[in-house]
Structure formats: C-alpha cells, structure tokens
Amino acid sequence: MVEARIVIIGAGPAGMKAALSLVEAGHRPVVIDEAQRSGGQVYRRPSPAAERSPRALYGFEAARAQRLHQGFDAIADFIDYYPETLIWNAEGRTLDLLYNGQNQRIAWSHLILATGAMDRIIPVSGWTLPGAYTLGAAQIALKAQAVGIGQSVVFFGTGPLLYLVAYQYAKAGITVKAVLDVSAFRQSVVALPQLLTGGRTFAKGLFFLAWLRARRIPVLRGITPVEIVAGTDQAVAGITIRTAGGKLRHFDCSGVGFGYGLRSETQIADLLELEFAFEHNHRQWLPVSDDNGRASTCGVYLAGDGAGILGADAAELTGRRAALVLRFDLGETELAAEIDTLSARLNAMRPFRHALDHVAFAFPERLARNVPDDVIICRCEGLRAANIRQMARDTEEIDLNRIKAFTRLGMGRCQGRVCVAAATAVLAGAATDMSSTGRYRCQAPVKPVPLRAFLGGCDEQV
Amino acid sequence: MNRFDVAIIGGGLAGCSAAFHLSKRGASVALLERGRCGAQASGVNFGGVRRQGRHPAELGIAQRSHALWKDLARLIGTDGEFRTTGHLKLARSPDEMADLEAYRETARTFDLELELLDTKSLRARYPYLGQAAQGGSFCPGDGQANPRIVAPAFSRAARALGATVLENTEVVHGRRDDGDFRLELASGQNIRARRLLNMAGAWGARIAAWFGDIVQEGVMAPNMCVTEPLPQFIGPALGVCGGDVYIRQVPQGSVIFGAGYGLADRDRVFARPLADVTAAGARLAVSIIPRLADALLVRTWTGIEGTMPDGIPVMGPSPSTEGLFHAFGFTGHGFQLGPAAGAVMAELALDGETPTEIGALAFTRFNRSSTATRTGC
C-alpha cells in the first residue's frame, strides 16, 4: 500500500479552500471530486463546449467564483486532483474509488469531508414526469450545459435557491412563467430582524425578487402545489396550485423545477462509521463534530454544506478552517487564533441562516407529512405514500430501515438519496419527533458502480 | 405476567417460527430478541431456499421445511415471495461434475428429483451462462424467497396467536433452579419459563455456556451484492460446487449475488461488507454470467451468522440441563431450514421429541470431540 495521504473529498468552495490552505503550508493534498471540473454545485464550471462568461454563469458571485477558480487552478501542480471520480466506499482509513472506469483504493492519513448537498424534495402528483427537475438539476443544466429544462418554466417550492434559479433562467432568456413559494410573506416579516444580519446575502435576495417582479414574472407566496400536469406526450405541460387565498390556479409550462432547501450528503461519513446525531435545525442526521469541525474519528474534518447547510460563503470558511485545524493537529499550534476567528465568524452567520432556512423559507412540514396517498415517494421501486403508510400500519413500524426492508423503499439506483427525506416525513406522520424514524443507513456503493469496474483484476493504488 | 411455558432466546427466523408453532399449540411463549426480529442472518441472507447440496444430516429437516415454505401464505399470511424457480448447481470441472453425480446418489432417498445436465444441455437451456460452467444439477422443487420479510412475518403471526414478542430485549444471564428457567434481562427484569429454547444464532454458544454446554462457535458475515433491476433472464437460483459464489434474480429484476465474507464483529453486533470482497465477488459473478459486467452494483450488505466447526447446526436437547434445547450455529443454512427448525423445537419443548430426524445434529457430537481434544493434549 502506498503512503497514506491527506485527502479532500469534494472540489466545491469548501474543498477548494481547504486545498489552498494546505498547499500554503507545503502539503500536497489529494482532491477527489465527482464533477468534471472544480467548483461544486454553486460555482460549477461549464463543460468546455458550453463556455459562458463568469458574469453570465454566476451573476453577483462572478468575482468570488473567479477568485476561487483561479486560486484552485493556480495550485494544480501542487495537488493530486482526481475529477470525475466517485468515492463509492470508505472502509477504515481507505477510500474505494471509481476512477477511469476502474475500481481503485487510496489510503488517507487525514480526511477533509466536503461532500456538499443536494435538493430536498417533497413529492407532488406528477413529479416523476419528464420535464420535472429539482431546482439544483435545473441550475446544473444551465451552468454545465447552457440549456434550460424547458422553453417556458415554472419554479416552485421554497428557499433562496428558488429565486436564484428563477433569476438565472430569466437572465438567460428562458421564459419563467411563475415563481411559486410555499412560504408565506409573513414568515419573511417575522424573520426580518435576523435576515437583516445577512447583509450582502440578504440584499441579493431582495434584488432577485425585485428583478423578477420588475419583469412582471408572477411571484406568489403561501401557495400549495396540487399537481404537475402531463400533456398528451406524457411530459410536463403545466402545474396546478392552490393560492394563499385558496383558489386553484394553473400555469402552462414545459418544465418545472422544484425544491425545498438542501440536505447534506452524508453517505461517506456514514461508511466511515462517524458518530451521528439528529440535528433538529437541519432536519436530518449529521456527523457530529467539535467546535472546530473535527469529526468523531481522529483525523477526519468536516467542511461545507455536507456537515449541515450554511451556504457557499460559510463553506469557504469551514473549508479553510478544516485545513487550518488539520495543520494545527500536525503541529502548527500558532494557527489557534486564526481558527478561533474563523469559528467566531461562522457562529455569527448562524442567526441569519436560521432565519432564512427555518423561518422565512421554513421546510413545509405539514405538506411533507401529508403527501397524498396516490403520490409516488420512491420512484425506483414505484412506491406510493399509501404503500408506506399501509406497511407502517400493518407492521406497527415507523423505523425507516425496517420499512425499507419490508417495502424496498430506497433500494433503487438513488439508494434513498432522493426519497428518504420525504419518506421520513410521511412515516413520522403525526409523530412530533422526526428522529423517531431512525437513521437510514448508507450501504456501499454510495452511487452505482458497473461490475466491469472490478474486472481489471488488480485493484491498483491511485 | 412474566412466567411462560416456553421462553425463546433469539428472534431469527427459526426462533420466530418456534414462537409461532408453540403459540399455535396453545403454549404461553416469550420470544426475547436483543434487537429486531430477523435483523441479522435471517433477514440479510441470500434468500436461497434449497435442499440440493444440503448435508445428509440436514436433509430430513430440509424436506420438512420445504413443505412449510410452500404453505407459508396460509400459515403466516404472506408467501415471503417464495418462488419455486428451481436450484441449479454448476460444475466448473469434470471433478465437480462427478461430485454432482455422487450427491444425487447420496440424496436419492430424499426424492429431490435432481436432473444432471451436461455442457451441451446446460448451454441450450441457460444460454446466458459463461464458459466457466461445464455442467450442472437441477433441483426443480427448490426456490428462493425474500429474507427481509419472512422472520418478521412469523413473529407477527406468533404475536397474533398470543405469543409475547419482546424486541430490543437482551437477556444478560440465565439459570435453572427449582425446575424453572430464570432469565435476567438487561432492563433488570426477570422472565421465568418451564422450558428454554436457545435459538440465538451466532450468540448461541454463549448462552449454552451459561448452562455448562460448551462448544466453539465461529462467526461469518456473507458478503452480499445486488444490481439494478434487469429484465428477467436467469430463472433458477444458481450455485456452484464449492459454494464460492451464488446468484439469483428477484421478481423485481435485481440480480443478487453473494461471494466471500465481510467483517463480522460479534461483540459490537456489527457487520459490514468489504470492498475487496465485493470486487472479488463481482469477478466471480461475471465469470458465471458474463453479461452482468454491464450491470450496475447498487448496494452491498451483510449480517452476522454463527458457524459450527463441522458446518452443520446444533439442534436438540442440552446434554446438561433438562428442559433446555439448543438450535444455533446454522452456518448459512438457516433460511431454508428455519421454518421447520422452529416446528421441531416447538415439538421438543412440548413433547420432548420430534418425528423429524435430527439425531446427527445433536449437541453431544461436540462433547465427544472436545473430550478427545483434551485427552490428546
């Protein structure tokens, strides 16, 4: 086995910043990322065939994105960077990778987990139709391939991403028919004092809203999605909602993007057997860490949205902090003051984030728990909400892993990454404590791996 | 009430079936399970329901189980997705083909209807098989089922008949005095019972030791893998001589294969698959069915199973303690044997005897060998 390395998982803002901070001190980290190019979801770079200007891609964040990308590109010779590489398993102090179509293994001495996040969805009738995407996927299409999810689109759900994606689409010249937010306007009013602490981020939010309104794009608050409607071609043809006033309204469109905030990707942390705790603030089980981002296993550091959603700006800070704490643990004790400063800055960001994610754009708990019986929850296995509720009644179980065993919930290609958040809410039903459904355990592979990857014979070292 | 006719330690498939059969006969039963029913080997095994290849000592009970499997829907309200797909055991060399022929003779009295296939008929009937397979033996009555649902279904059926099923209930010690078994629970409570069935799987030898029945029990965690759903093409459950890989396609289309062993930690009650074992298993599976190379692996898993040194379970009365009966260390055979193992144990508890031939599985076979070992030293 080759020498164990400092490994960073993820090349989004957290992973990139961590790499920069390690290279500063003369370390040569390994950076492993699933994407073709660095940047993560938020600063995703287009494939070479679909280049657009940073301004067009990142809007207000263009300067920040460029700075990050240039910084990361500048250290290319001082890191070992593996793009388009899936970490499909973690075992002890090794990682198993799918790299160039082959199974490979790498040993780590220190590990920075910057695994990022994905959309949290609530299924609605018609969400599995062609033309229905998550907000994140809608954004990826635009950033990576410079295409939209339809010629005329509706975005619905809640959260800051809802307005950002709508703005980006409209800016790119795609017809945005409506922006439909399940959060009520009064929630933003309640959250206002904390939101004001968000400064720049809050100002951007206000700008998107004003910009959309100025272009006469309908922005409705307090709505309830009823159905994504199929056309004769069995693809998205429109969406029906109920307004805050209780009236049914329909919007024709050829694509819909929806999402209800983000959830951390924790599969690798789970396979590493890190300790987890249920975080009510984040509505999910997360790996536990000390005040400075050290995980429960010695040598593992948590950074970015993978450790709880704090957004891109915070991800840069936690990424740098993870690297500094790692260096501190290797003997650079003089970094203590800077680490404390970073942690203090991060703590100062929390009230804004809380107001944003839990008050202004709170996850619509009731909507999630009351998904209608005939709506598909787990599309891989074709399970509807009724199937899950029925099994829970028949077996008197609300434990996710038991319901999985009985119904095949989450056993398909997504391995629960898409459906489990909704299934949790459906199972919790009337129960007040979301953690009562237990923690859905990750089993390797994190994402599907072709068996051909194992046929090379020798599992070479990276 | 905390005094029962029979207490069962272990809510695996066999233990749940015992609770069911005892309740059916009107006995008061407590089933004590440290975790959840069917959560270890019973719930996470391959799902093969075969008699072909079983050790002759197990064939009596395997035959009885076969009848129960076919009757599952009527007995417990679910068929457990049991399908009579047949079981095809493959030979990869002339020597192995000879082994298959010899086994047919061994099992002749058990009426398994084994059909031997030469290379040509194997290719004709199962064109998806790779060059590695040179011949086979087909057992038409064998099949496969969904392990995740069977043991919990037995426990629910037992409960419906009045059994007391206590999950998340660990027994920390047991002893027998005044003709009663006294089981001390982790909660501090006690359970009393006239008879005790030790059906604790990989933890069975530890419980046996409380009563002075000493045997070495090993542990294993079969490394299981499953692909994305594929169009139906396999048919029978597949095995090979030597047993180093086994493959089946479930009704929903996914192909499950097992090969090698993952990590099993009996003390932590923790098991996980291992990547290098998964990789080696994938190579074996592709050698049997080449087209699997293009399938996606979506999940791997394992669970903790007890193993006996001679590869067959312990089943029968305790040599030391009246009213105590053991059934553990199923060594990977417990899924098919489970339903009948429960029925047999229920008979032992209530009648002291069973019509099923289990003599060769007796605990005393180890007492003799351990004495011999001691003398040898």
Chain B, nearest residue to A103 by Cα: B279
Chain B, nearest residue to A460 by Cα: B276
State whether A157 and A247 are in the same domain: yes
What distance in Å separates the CA atoms of residue B67 and residue A92, rounded to the nearest whole number?
A: 45
| A448 closest CB neighbour out of B278, B298, B301 | B298
Q: Which of B291, B298, B301, B302 to mutate to test the interface with A (most CBs of A within 10 A)?
A: B298
| Contact call for residues A446 and A271 (beta carbons, < 8 A) | yes
Quick: pLDDT tens for B229-280.
999 999 999 999 999 999 999 999 999 999 999 999 999 999 999 999 999 9
Q: Mean pLDDT check: name the lowest of A118-122, A148-152, B105-109, B350-354.
A: B105-109
Say which CATH number the domain at A110 has: 3.50.50.60
For residue A103, give both structure tokens.
Answer: 């199974």
Residue for token pair 């003089």:
A334
Contacts of B301 in chain A (CB under 8 A): 443
- A224's enclosing H/E stretch is strand A224-230
Per-residue confidence (pLDDT) for residue B189, from 0 to 100 = 95
Task: Please give, rounded to a whole number of angstroms, the shortest distance from the CA of A375 to a CA of chain B.
Answer: 20
* Chain A / chain B CB contacts < 8 angstroms: 86
Residues 6+ apart with CB under 8 A from A371: A122, A123, A124, A377, A385, A422, A425, A426
What distance in Å separates the CA atoms of residue A398 and residue A207, rounded to the nearest whole number?
A: 43
| B282 closest CB neighbour out of A381, A413, A454 | A454
State whether A396 and A279 are in the same domain: no
State whether A243 and A272 are in the same domain: no
| Contact call for residues B158 and B31 (beta carbons, < 8 A) | yes
Phi, psi for residue A164 in degrees, rounded to 5: -65, -45
CATH 3.30.9.10 range(s) for chain B read: 87-140+222-302
Q: Is residue A57 part of a domain?
A: yes
Q: Is residue A460 part of a domain?
A: no
Residues 6+ apart with CB under 8 A from A200: none
- A393's enclosing H/E stretch is helix A385-395
Using a CB–CB cut-off of 8 Å, the residues of A that contact B are 88-89, 91, 96, 103, 105, 381, 395, 399, 402, 405-406, 408, 411-413, 415, 443-445, 448-452, 454-455, 457, 459
As to burial, measured by CB atoms within 10 angstroms (0-12 exposed, 13-18 middle, 19+ buried), residue A96 is: buried
Per-residue confidence (pLDDT) for residue B192, from 0 to 100 = 97
Do residue A444 and residue B275 have CB atoms under 8 angstroms apart? yes
User: By three-state DSSP, how is residue A277 classified?
Assistant: strand
Chain A, nearest residue to B77 by Cα: A394
State whether A131 and A246 are in the same domain: yes
| A415 closest CB neighbour out of B36, B272, B299 | B299
Q: Of A281, A315, A331, at which residue does a domain stop?
A: A331
For residue A9, give both structure tokens.
Answer: 């998982």
| Contact call for residues A289 and A111 (beta carbons, < 8 A) | no
Residues 6+ apart with CB under 8 A from B18: B8, B31, B197, B199, B327, B341, B342, B343, B345, B346, B349
Do residue B273 and residue A445 have CB atoms under 8 angstroms apart? no
Is B186 near chain A, with CB under 8 Å? no
Which amino acid is present at B157? A
The 3 state secondary structure assigned to chain B is: CCEEEEEEECCCHHHHHHHHHHHHCCCCEEEECCCCCCCCHHHHCCCEECCCCCCHHHHHHHHHHHHHHHCHHHHHCCCCCCECCCEEEEECCHHHHHHHHHHHHHCHHHCCCCEEECHHHHHHHCCCCCCCCCEEEEECCCEECCHHHHHHHHHHHHHHCCCEEECCCCEEEEEEECCEEEEEECCCCEEEEEEEEECCHHHHHHHHHHCCCCCCCEEECEEEEEEEECCCCCCCEEEECCCCCEEEECCCCEEEEEEEECEEECCCCEEECCHHHHHHHHHHHHHHCHHHHHCEEEEEECCCEEECCCCCCEEEECCCCCCEEEEECCCCCHHHHHHHHHHHHHHHHHHCCCCCCCHHHCCHHHHHHHHHHHHHC
Chain B, nearest residue to A395 by Cα: B156
| Contact call for residues B323 and B176 (beta carbons, < 8 A) | yes
What distance in Å separates the CA atoms of residue B373 and residue B40, rounded to the nearest whole number?
A: 32
What distance in Å separates the CA atoms of residue A273 and residue A254, rounded to the nearest whole number?
A: 43
State whether A129 and A255 are in the same domain: yes
State whether A250 and A136 are in the same domain: yes
Per-residue confidence (pLDDT) for residue B187, from 0 to 100 = 95
User: By three-state DSSP, how is residue A371 classified?
Assistant: coil
What distance in Å separates the CA atoms of residue B313 and residue B18, rounded to the nearest whole number?
A: 16
Residues 6+ apart with CB under 8 A from A120: A259, A260, A261, A262, A263, A363, A421
Neighbours of A135 (CB within 10 A): 29
Do residue B298 and residue A405 have CB atoms under 8 angstroms apart? no
End-to-end CA distance of chain A: 10
Per-residue confidence (pLDDT) for residue B368, from 0 to 100 = 54
Quick: pLDDT tens for A161-201.
999 999 999 999 999 999 999 999 888 888 888 887 777 77
As to burial, measured by CB atoms within 10 angstroms (0-12 exposed, 13-18 middle, 19+ buried), residue A350 is: middle
Do residue B294 and residue A91 have CB atoms under 8 angstroms apart? no
Q: Of A331, A354, A374, at which residue does a domain stop?
A: A331
Average pLDDT of chain A is 92
Contacts of A381 in chain B (CB under 8 A): 252
Closest to B310 measured CA to CA, from B331, B337, B340, B328: B331
What distance in Å separates the CA atoms of residue A223 and residue A41, rounded to the nearest whole number?
A: 28
Instruction: Count Cα atoms within 13 angstroms, Cβ side, for A282.
Output: 23
- A302's enclosing H/E stretch is strand A300-302
pLDDT at A285 over 90: yes
**Beta-sheet pairing, A5-9 with A30-32:** parallel
Q: Is residue A342 part of a domain?
A: no
When pLDDT is averaged across residues A214-225 and rounded to a whole number, the result is: 96
C-alpha dihedral sign at B185, B187, B190, B191: negative
Per-residue confidence (pLDDT) for residue A354, from 0 to 100 = 85
Residues 6+ apart with CB under 8 A from B188: none
Neighbours of A40 (CB within 10 A): 24
| A411 closest CB neighbour out of B36, B299, B300 | B299
State whether A140 and A187 are in the same domain: yes
State whether A31 and A71 are in the same domain: yes
pLDDT at A272 over 50: yes
Do residue A411 and residue B286 have CB atoms under 8 angstroms apart? no
Chain A, nearest residue to B279 by Cα: A454
Alpha helices in A286-384 (DSSP H): 312-329, 336-354, 365-369
Per-residue confidence (pLDDT) for residue A254, from 0 to 100 = 97
Rounded to 5, what percent of chain A is helix, strand, coil? 40, 25, 35
What distance in Å separates the CA atoms of residue B336 and residue A352, rounded to the nearest whole number?
A: 58
Do residue B300 and residue A443 have CB atoms under 8 angstroms apart? yes
Neighbours of A2 (CB within 10 A): 10
What distance in Å separates the CA atoms of residue A115 and residue A449, rounded to the nearest whole number?
A: 18
Give the Cα-Cα-Cα angle B234, B238, B242 (nearest 5 degrees).
155
Residue burial B107-117, b: 16+ Cβ < 10 Å; e: rest: beebebebebb
Query: Could you report the predicted ipTM of this complex, rounded to two decimals?
Result: 0.93
Q: B198: which strand partners?
A: B9, B326
Per-residue confidence (pLDDT) for residue A430, from 0 to 100 = 66
Report the number of distinct structural domains present in chain A. Answer: 3
CATH architecture of B3-47+148-216+309-376: 3-Layer(bba) Sandwich (3.50)
Q: Mean pLDDT check: name the lowest of A166-170, A256-260, A297-301, A426-430.
A: A426-430
| A406 closest CB neighbour out of B148, B228, B294 | B148
Contacts of B297 in chain A (CB under 8 A): 445, 448-451
Contacts of A105 in chain B (CB under 8 A): 275
CATH 3.50.50.60 range(s) for chain B read: 3-47+148-216+309-376
Q: Find the radius of gyration of the CA atoms of chain B.
A: 21
Q: Is residue A355 part of a domain?
A: no
In CATH, what class is B87-140+222-302?
Answer: alpha beta
State whether A373 and A399 are in the same domain: yes
Contacts of B252 in chain A (CB under 8 A): 381, 408
State whether A173 and A131 are in the same domain: yes
Do residue A455 and residue B286 have CB atoms under 8 angstroms apart? yes
Task: Please give, rounded to a whole number of angstroms, the shortest distance from the CA of B60 to a CA of chain A.
Answer: 31
Quick: pLDDT tens for B310-333.
999 999 999 999 999 999 999 999
Q: Of A331, A357, A377, at which residue does a domain stop?
A: A331
State whether A9 and A88 are in the same domain: yes
Q: Which of B76, B230, B299 to mutate to test the interface with A (most CBs of A within 10 A)?
A: B299
Which residue range forms the structural domain that includes residue A425? 365-437
Residue for token pair 């994140």:
A136
Q: Is residue A343 part of a domain?
A: no
Do residue A413 and residue B298 have CB atoms under 8 angstroms apart? yes
Phi, psi for residue B259 in degrees, rounded to 5: -165, 130
Give, for all 377 residues of chain B, the pLDDT tens digit: 589 999 999 999 999 999 999 999 999 999 999 999 998 899 999 999 999 999 999 999 999 999 999 999 999 999 999 999 999 999 999 999 999 999 999 999 888 999 999 999 999 999 999 999 999 999 999 999 999 999 999 999 999 999 999 999 999 999 998 889 999 999 999 999 999 999 999 999 999 999 999 999 999 999 999 999 999 999 999 999 999 999 999 999 999 999 999 999 999 999 999 999 999 999 999 999 999 999 999 999 999 999 999 999 999 999 999 999 999 999 999 999 999 999 999 999 999 999 999 999 999 998 754 444 433 33
Contacts of B148 in chain A (CB under 8 A): 405-406
Closest to B35 measured CA to CA, from B303, B252, B336: B303
Concatenated DSSP letters of A106-165: EEEEEEEE---EEE-----BTTTSTTEEEHHHHHHHHHHHS--S-SEEEEEEESHHHHHH
Is B36 near chain A, with CB under 8 Å? yes
Do residue B279 and residue A89 have CB atoms under 8 angstroms apart? no
Is B160 near chain A, with CB under 8 Å? no
